[in-house]
Amino acid sequence: MFLIVPFGVIWLLLDSSEHLPDEALIKRFYRYEKDFETLAQMAAEDSKVTRIANDFTWLENNAAWPRPGSELGFSRERWENYRRLFNKLGIKGGISRKGHPETIFLLSSTTGLATGGDEKGYAYCGHEPTPLVDSLDSIPIEVKSLQQVYKRVKGNWYLYYVWDD
C-alpha cells in the first residue's frame, strides 16, 4: 500500500529547520518597529535577567529552573508581556545576552541541540558589532563556531547569525 503525501507537506518537512531570509526578518522589524523597541527597553530594564524564554528565565546569578515565582527576575504579569511580544514578533527562542551585557539578542529561530546547531535573529547593540556583512543568507566570509555575524538593519538594530559545531 502506498502513502500519498502532498508535495507541500514533504517540502515543509524537509525545510522546517530553515531560518527566515534576511528580507523577511527586516520586513517584520519595520512592520513592528515600535514593539521591537518596547521589547529592547524591557530587556534593558531587566538587565539582571540574562535569558528570558516562554517557559524559563535565567538570572545573572541563578540559572536553576524551576524557581519560585518570586525569583523569576520580574513579575508574572511582566513575563506575560514578554510572551505576548515574543509571539507577535516571531521571537521563538526569547531573549539572551550571551555573555555580551551591552547586546540584547532576540532569537527568531534556532536549530539543533545544545551540542551543536545555529540561530538567527535580531540584536540590539550598544555599539557597532563586528563582523558586519551584507547578507546572512549566504555569508561571504569565513566564520568560526560561536562567532556572531551581523547585518545592519537600522540604528542600533542588527540581524545576527551564529552557529556551533
Query: What are the DSSP calls for 28-46, one per residue?
Result: HHHHTHHHHHHHHHHHHHT
Task: Say what the pTM is.
Answer: 0.86
Query: Taking the mean position of all CA atoms in its chain, how far away is CA 3?
Result: 37
Residue 112 pLDDT class (50, 70, 90 cuts)? confident
Q: What percent of the chain has pLDDT over 90?
A: 73
Mean pLDDT value across the chain? 88
Query: HSE (CB half, 13 Å, CA atoms) of 32?
Result: 17
Residue 114 pLDDT class (50, 70, 90 cuts)? low
Q: What cell does 99 get?
A: 555573555
Higher-pLDDT residue of 116 and 63 is: 63
Could you read off the pLDDT of 31-86 as tens digits, one per residue?
999 999 999 999 999 999 999 999 999 999 999 999 998 999 999 999 999 999 99
Integer Cα distance of 138 and 48 in angstroms = 35
Contacts of 49 (CB under 8 A, 6+ apart): 43, 57, 58, 59, 60, 72, 73, 74
Tell me if 119 sits within 8 A of 136, measured CB to CB: no
Residue 14 has pLDDT above 70, yes or no: no
